[in-house]
């Protein structure tokens, strides 16, 4: 299994994108409950989610596998985003219907960046000794440390366009439901944190970050192996992660057997930095 490459066709890409839609909807629900505003509206097999401004869960996800969006529905979504002072960001899978990209660019969406989706089959992996689950009483510390680590981005590969205010990032990390959180320790200190959740047999790696003083010490590798071991124990058949193209994070996950499955084009209408729910794109080890 370790030597077998993972091929991604449209069926597998659609499965992963549907899992992404569920993540966006369920994480956005936490923001909407906390703030009392926002929405998640179905759109051509995907979702338009308005959480809080600058949130990684304020975006359109999952298009390309359910036909073209309805123009009137998209008009309403764009107006709602504009009223909140938020640009519309669409994350469009490379393996989806290319007509969706043409439809969006004709409406004034511009290509701003890309992100890579990588995956691997889940097999036997030993759980590293330097990683452990986060206790309930450690949650706020974990959130703060991961936010601090995420603020210092990976500088290898294409420049990252995402830029989240610290409080917004902490809220987004807290709002994710059903996630399993882990921390890495080195010399008795918090070195890094990571999380994943299970959706229809897919282990979605929902974020990882290493504090700068502990980078290049194998922390990310340990966090990856811990989540792979936990994913196997949870009965998952597939693990997926999102990274910045050409980044150290992409290199690290490929060393752990992940294959590049497809890219997502980031299309934006309005003005702001792009944002992504694949928070592993900022990790470094």
Exposed/middle/buried for 213, CB within 10 Å: 0-12, 13-18, 19+? exposed
**Could you tell me which residues come within 8 angstroms of residue 65 by beta carbon, excluding any fewer than 6 positions away?**
10, 13, 14, 17, 18, 45, 46, 93, 96, 97
Same domain, 140 and 34: no
Distance (Å, rounded) from C-alpha 193 to C-alpha 78? 35
The whole domain housing 94 covers 10-116
Same domain, 249 and 137: yes
The residue assigned the tokens 């990252």 is 160
In a domain, 2, yes or no: no
Model confidence pLDDT, tens digit, residues 207-254: 899 999 998 889 999 999 999 999 999 999 999 999 999 988 899 999
Three-state secondary structure call for residue 110: strand
Distance (Å, rounded) from C-alpha 34 to C-alpha 24? 16
Task: Select from 116, 137, 162 the last residue of a domain.
Answer: 116
Give the pLDDT of residue 251: 93
Same domain, 147 and 215: yes
* CATH number for 142: 3.40.630.30
Distance (Å, rounded) from C-alpha 43 to C-alpha 76? 11
Same domain, 95 and 212: no
Task: Select from 116, 147, 181 the last residue of a domain.
Answer: 116
Model confidence pLDDT, tens digit, residues 69-123: 999 999 999 999 999 999 999 999 999 999 999 999 999 999 999 999 999 999 8
Same domain, 60 and 109: yes
Give the pLDDT of residue 281: 43
The residue assigned the tokens 């926002």 is 38
| Domain total in the chain | 2
Cα angle, residue 58 at apex, residues 179 and 78 outer, rounded to 5°: 155
User: Any idea what DSSP says for residue 156?
Assistant: S
Exposed/middle/buried for 68, CB within 10 Å: 0-12, 13-18, 19+? middle
Same domain, 144 and 60: no
Same domain, 95 and 186: no
In a domain, 266, yes or no: no
């Amino acid at each position: 299994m370790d030597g077998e490459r993972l091929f991604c066709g449209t069926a597998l890409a659609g499965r992963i994108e549907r899992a992404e839609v569920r993540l966006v909807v369920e994480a956005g629900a936490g923001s909407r409950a906390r703030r009392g505003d926002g929405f998640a509206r179905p759109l051509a097999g995907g979702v338009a989610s308005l959480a809080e401004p600058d949130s990684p869960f304020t975006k359109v996800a999952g298009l390309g596998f359910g036909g073209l969006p309805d123009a009137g529905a998209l008009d309403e979504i764009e107006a709602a985003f504009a009223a909140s002072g938020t640009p519309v960001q669409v994350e469009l899978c490379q393996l989806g219907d290319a007509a969706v990209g043409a439809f969006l660019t004709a409406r004034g969406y511009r290509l701003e960046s890309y992100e890579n989706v990588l995956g691997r089959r889940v097999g036997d992996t030993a759980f590293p000794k330097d990683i452990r689950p986060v206790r309930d009483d450690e949650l706020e510390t974990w959130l703060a440390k991961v936010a601090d680590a995420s603020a210092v981005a990976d500088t290898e590969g294409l420049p990252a366009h995402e830029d989240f205010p610290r409080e917004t990032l902490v809220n987004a990390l807290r709002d994710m439901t059903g996630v399993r959180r882990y921390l890495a320790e080195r010399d008795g200190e918090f070195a890094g944190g990571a999380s994943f959740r299970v959706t229809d047999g897919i282990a979605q790696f929902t974020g990882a970050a290493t504090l700068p003083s502990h980078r290049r010490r194998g922390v990310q590798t340990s966090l990856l192996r811990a989540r792979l071991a936990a994913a196997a124990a949870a009965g998952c058949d597939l693990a997926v992660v999102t990274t910045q193209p050409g980044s150290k994070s992409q290199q690290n996950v490929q060393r752990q057997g992940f294959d590049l499955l497809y890219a997502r084009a980031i299309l934006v209408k309005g003005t702001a930095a792009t944002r992504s729910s694949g928070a592993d794109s900022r990790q470094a080890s």
